[in-house]
Amino acid sequence: MVSREEYTKCMVPHMKGGGPDRKLRFCIGAKLCSMKSETEEEAEKLCIEAAANPKPAKATRRKGKAGFGDLNALAACAVQKIDLDSLTPENIAATLTAALQDCSGIKAPSYKRFMTACMKEIGTGDFLTSQGDIKKCQSRWNESRVS
């Protein structure tokens, strides 16, 4: 096993210069400097094989985004949770949000997360106007809590 300093020193000539073969030269240098191959020909063969057969990309998951398997079941659950007699134009959004969150199992955001998202959405970034933006976000928070 080579040390980091030895590897870096070994890689310097392979990293210099540009051109269409730069990636291949870099790969060959990495194979030689890390002692994964004995000869330059062997390293080149490994690099060409690796380029021809790339590793499959890892599945990524978007943070905070949940998938709902059955939207019909989600809607049916939400309809059962909503009391139609208590709906007003002022509380319809908050009531529907609460019902969907309850049925989907997603927790309501904390005050800090709600305020952060709200400030990013409506905030101007100006210190002088930020107090007004904070008050607007606090009003939205209070409205979302009334159900």
Q: Where are the domains of the chain?
A: 4-52, 67-107, 109-147
pLDDT of residue 71: 78
Write down the pTM of the prediction. 0.40
What amino acid is encoded at 38 in this protein? E
The closest of 43, 19, 41 to 30, measured between CA atoms, is 43
- Please check the confidence at residue 123 and state whether its pLDDT lies above 80: no
**What's the pLDDT band for 105 if we cut at 50, 70, 90?**
confident
d(CA 85, CA 92): 11
pLDDT of residue 31: 92
The closest of 26, 24, 147, 19 to 93, measured between CA atoms, is 147
Contact 96, 82 (CB under 8 A): yes
- What is the rounded average pLDDT of the residues 112-118? 82
pLDDT cut 70: percent of the chain above it: 85
**What's the pLDDT band for 88 if we cut at 50, 70, 90?**
confident
d(CA 97, CA 13): 60
Mean pLDDT of the chain: 80
pLDDT of residue 84: 79
The two tokens of residue 22 are: 């730069």
- What is the rounded average pLDDT of the residues 104-132? 76
Q: DSSP secondary structure string, 46-90? A: HHHHHHHSPPPPPP---TTPPPPS-HHHHHHHHHHH--GGG--TT
Beta carbons within 8 Å of 101's beta carbon, 6+ residues apart:
107, 108
d(CA 117, CA 137): 9
pLDDT, tens only, 39-86: 999 999 999 988 888 877 776 655 544 555 677 888 888 888 888 788
pLDDT of residue 69: 63
